[in-house]
Amino acid sequence: MIAPIARFAIAGAIWYQGETNTAYPYTYAKLFTEMMGTWRKAWKYNFPFYYVQIAPFAYGEPYAGALLQEQQSKAAAYPNVGMVVISDLVTDTSNIHPKNKHDVGDLLANWALAKIMSGKTLPVNRLILKM
């Protein structure tokens, strides 16, 4: 599905998804990193890929969210990847779509800026850095 846009240049990708993957959390890290690799192959470029760990939510199944978060953490070992954690930004675990998207966007933007501005001082916190 990305073939039509792969001819356009990109600087990187951000990803905020995963809630439906709580049904089969143990497949997530493998599928997610394969997707990243496929996208990079399509663009012929090892672009940075930053993503958001799913927010805390009261899933019906015990530990469903935590098991997926663990898989998302494992995916952070993939090359040129970064994950932001937003657990502290969520005030309502009964809403699967947390309202505070602004701060999430700031975290992702700070990560990208830190990568671009490597060696310069930038206020980057709450990130799992692997540069």
| Average pLDDT of the residues of the chain | 88
8 is a domain residue: no
In this predicted model, what pLDDT tens digit does every residue of 8-64 receive, in sequence order? 999 899 999 889 999 999 999 999 999 999 999 999 999 999 999 999 999 988 899
| Counted domains in the chain | 1
* Cross-sheet strand order for the sheet of 49-52: 13-15, 49-52, 81-84, 127-128
Is 97 inside a domain boundary?
Answer: yes
Q: Is residue 10 assigned to a domain?
A: no
119: confidence class by pLDDT, cuts 50, 70, 90? low
Confidence at 67, pLDDT banded by 50, 70, 90 = very high
High-pLDDT (> 90) share of the chain, %: 68
The verdict on residue 1 lying in a domain is no
Q: Is residue 41 assigned to a domain? A: yes
In a domain, 13, yes or no: no
In a domain, 9, yes or no: no
Count other Cβ atoms within 10 Å, centred on residue 114.
19
Mean pLDDT confidence for 87-108: 90
Residue 5 lies in a domain: no
Supply the range of the domain harboring residue 60: 18-128
CA geometry: angle 20, 104, 120, nearest 5 deg: 130
- The per-residue pLDDT for 36 is 98
